[in-house]
Structure 1
Amino acid sequence: MPVAGNPPQTQTAAAPPTATPSAGQNETTTQMPIARPPLAGQTSPPPANGLLRQPQQTGQTGARFEPPRQAPAPAPRPAPAPPPSAHFAEVSQEIETPWAGQLAPTSAATIGNHRAIDALSHVGVKTAVKMPSQRGWRHWLYVLTRINLGLSPDELYEMELHTRIRRNARDSYQIGIFGLKGGVGKTAITVALGSVLSRVRGDRILAIDADPDGGNLADRAGRQSAATVADLLADKELSRYNDIRAYTSMNSANLEVLSSEDYSTARRAFNDEDWKNATSIVSRYYNLVLADCGAGLFHPAARGVLATVSGLVIVASASIDGARQAAVTMDWLRQNGYQDLLGRSCVVINHVVPGKPNIDVEDLVQQFERHVPPGRVIVLPYDKHIAAGTEIQLDLLSRKFQRRITELAAALSDDFDRLERR
């Protein structure tokens, strides 16, 4: 604006500044809008608010005033692949750092809601103390010199068998002992097998005499009660275990036995309805139920047992006649809809008489192993205590007989957690 008393002057183009403006001089600026990101739903940025100021470009243009050109930067070389440890570190960092819009961070410790304390149950822990041997020369060496060499291979194998026998049996697991010929030792095997299961497992095991022709299961196990399965079925006030215990006998291995009705006074034979009613009562109080069956498969009692059991023991004597009867039993099961039960069966070749049999037992084992899973053909030696026909006590059986019965119990226990049970 012209000042009074001075003639107006014409404004000319100013030369480019050659020096830095001193203090008090204001730099000529223009207002520039602030670039803001568009809000949700907008497609263009909002208008400028006029708060940002930017210096004016007052310099001259031309070849003399162009800034020197810079040489183009060389193309970047690809970075070398990171080592495996760095790759996993990056992956773990990506897992721990969520992207925008994702949920809370996820780490390996929280995937699947697994607790860290649960993983410790699978960690092997070595003990500094060895368990001393209880038999053999290792035991006597420990007794005399206190040199502990640990358990023998035979003792370790026995511990493995006991571990298999202690498997948890869901519901009430039922096992039937069958044989088409009498005198092959079904009752003795039932008592010995139940005694081993009861002693090793420590839970309630019950053996039921399901022979419709009048079995002697209670006599071989040690009769303590004159009550029979007919008396149990006639009682309508059974609500506790002690009510069931009043009708059973128990031997020294804590195996309980429910005897059949006296054949001389029985009005009818034990049938399938009796078996189903008895098992529906006792299955609430016993973990394992064994059935000592008769010599035939067409009896109603045998059909009732086959309809409910989850494991089977086929007993044959160590003779050509006994081998044929066992083979007929397996063929009958296969042809009458019990193929799945045959896959959970064990075959026992029992030496009921002393001396060498008239059949090649090793060849017989190989023939039977074609029809049952491996390790389920058990050969029982002749035992004087069983041949006496008296009450069977587990401690009086030979060590070899006890080991074979233990192997039979372990083979049957392998099916306790199978899903295709009946």
Structure 2
Amino acid sequence: MSPSDPDVTPTPPRDRRAAPPQRGVVPLPVDASAPAPPLGPDSLVRYSGEAPMGGWRRGVYTVTRGRMNPGPSPAQVARQQMIQAIRRPLPGVRRVAVASIKGGVGKTTVSACLGLALAENRGDRVVALDANPDAGTLADRLTGDTSVTVRDLLAGIEQATTIHDLDRFTSLAGRLRVLASEQDPAAGESFSRAEYEAVCRLVGRFANILITDSGTGLVHSAMEGTLALADSLVVVGSPTVDGANRASKTLDWLHGHGFAALAEQSVVVLSCDRWSRDVDRDLVRRHFESRTRAVVELPFDPHLAYGGRVHLGALRPETIDAVLLLGARIADGFDG
């Protein structure tokens, strides 16, 4: 048959235009010039939120294999915020002194906990120095190694030119480098301000944070150098009559000897391993809040009370939170 045959209906040419959209479907505009979205872990994986770490939230998350995520608890969120504060970028070297006019209030414990918290949650180098002239116990509490001391470092300080040279005089507690004090009290008395400053210069070349456990008293030569070079100060006391009074007298002494600004920007730690119901703890806290930048209460913890090696993982959750809060408050001062 020919195309002109009246019984044959010619096939209409195919309409090459886009078919009309289906009912209820709105076509999306296509921008051919727009770049393709990048492919990576953040774009390919659906993020369902941070997994809860404990409690009923963790139970729901585990039972449902992550399909139901109640999210982190307020306590977990607060802890993450403190860790982020601890990780604040640090412009240069910061020296943190831990001091008190009174012995036996927990300065070494606070120094150890603060050093561990900063070292384990930051990516830079943190050194804890025991500047106690009376055979300090900081290295005992952290590494148990006192075979090499600050006196050995001073003897070889001229030859210490690299981080590996510094490492020969320190021991490690996790990521924290620990520089032990001289264990012979007679030799320790000769640890002078000039020697302390020489140690600070060396440590400052290879580390970012130096925490100094200053020992008892405020008038020995090394303590003069500690306060003169300190960028941040932690004053340790306790919520007892004598512990609170001594911490307050420490602030008074600092104001009277040219360290008023350091005192006003200090952080007070109230070590609560000793306390009494007869002492108004709220009044003690308000007193130091009015005089300093922040107050942190370190609760009683059996792991700290027995006086042995300090491990963050062995602390109670509330103690870990207090230690992280202390680290965050110190890091808050890195900008100033």
Q: Please indicate the TM-score interval, normalised by the length of the shorter structure.
A: 0.7 to 0.9
Runs of 4 or more consecutive aligned structure 1 residues displaced over 2 Å after TM superposition: 355-358
Segments of structure 2 that go 5 or more residues without pairing to the other structure are 1-42
How far is the alpha carbon of 1:339 from its aligned partner?
1.6
Matched, 1:137 2:59: no
Partner letter of residue 311 of structure 2?
Answer: Q
The code of the aligned residue for 1:401 comes to T
Match of 1:283 among 176, 198, 204: 204
Larger Rg: 1
Distance (Å, rounded) in 1 between the aligned partners of 2:278 and 2:132 = 29
Equivalence for 1:395: 313
Equivalences for residues 5-404 of structure 1 within 5 A: 128-145=47-64, 146=66, 147-224=68-145, 226-235=147-156, 236-252=158-174, 254-264=175-185, 266=187, 268-353=189-274, 356-373=276-293, 376-404=294-322
Shift of 1:338: 1.1
AA matched with 1:393: H
Between the aligned partners of 1:263 and 1:217, the Cα distance in structure 2 is 15
> How far apart, in 1, do the equivalents of 2:95 and 2:50 lie?
35
The alignment partner of 1:212 has SS state of coil
Counterparts in 2 of 1:338 and 1:270: CA distance versus 1, 3 Å = same
Change (3 A) 1:128 1:219: closer
- Post-superposition offset of 1:412: 0.9
Instruction: Specify the alignment match of 1:82 in structure 2.
Output: none
Which letter maps to 1:239?
Answer: T
Q: Distance in 2 between matches of 1:308 and 1:330?
A: 17
Structure 1: runs of 5 or more not aligned: 1-124
Q: For 1:187, what is the secondary structure of its paired residue?
A: helix
- Matched residue type, 1:138: R
1: CA distance, partners of 2:147 / 2:247: 34
Partner of 1:60: none
Q: Indicate the RMSD between aligned Cα atoms, in angstroms.
A: 1.7
Q: Which has the higher contact order (CA 8 A, sep 6+)?
A: 2
SS in 1 for 2:71: coil
Q: So what's the TM-score if we normalise by structure 1?
A: 0.66
Q: Shift of the alpha carbon at 1:352? A: 2.5
TM-aligned CA distance change 1:267 to 1:292, over 3 Å: closer
Q: Distance in 1 between matches of 2:149 and 2:295?
A: 33
CA distance in 2, matches of 1:201, 1:214: 29
Aligned length: 289
Residues 225, 301 of structure 1: CA spacing in aligned structure 2 closer, same or farther, 3 A cutoff? closer
Conserved 8 A contact 1:225-1:247: no
Instruction: Give the deviation of 1:154 after TM superposition.
Output: 1.3
| Structure 1: distance between partners of 2:207 and 2:265 | 21
Cα contact 1:344–1:412 (8 A) shared by 2: no
Partner of 2:332: 414
Q: Deviations over 1:147-182 (max 9, x none)?
A: 112222111111111111111122210000001111
TM-score, with structure 2 as normaliser: 0.82
Q: Render the CA deviation track for 1:385-404: whole Å, top value 9, x for unaligned.
A: 11111111111111111111
- 1: CA distance, partners of 2:121 / 2:160: 28
- Distance 1:291-1:351 versus aligned 2 partners, 3 A rule: same
Q: 1:212 to 1:267 in 2, by over 3 A?
A: closer
Check whether the contact 1:213–1:269 (CA below 8 A) recurs between aligned residues. no
More helix by share: 2
AA of the residue aligned to 1:228: T
Deviations 1:12-64 (A, max 9, x none): xxxxxxxxxxxxxxxxxxxxxxxxxxxxxxxxxxxxxxxxxxxxxxxxxxxxx
Q: Deviations over 1:107-163 (max 9, x none)?
A: xxxxxxxxxxxxxxxxxx9x8531111112111100002311222211111111111
Report if the CA contact (8 A) 2:94-2:334 is conserved: yes
Q: Does the Cα contact within 8 Å between 2:133 and 2:185 map onto a contact in 1?
A: no
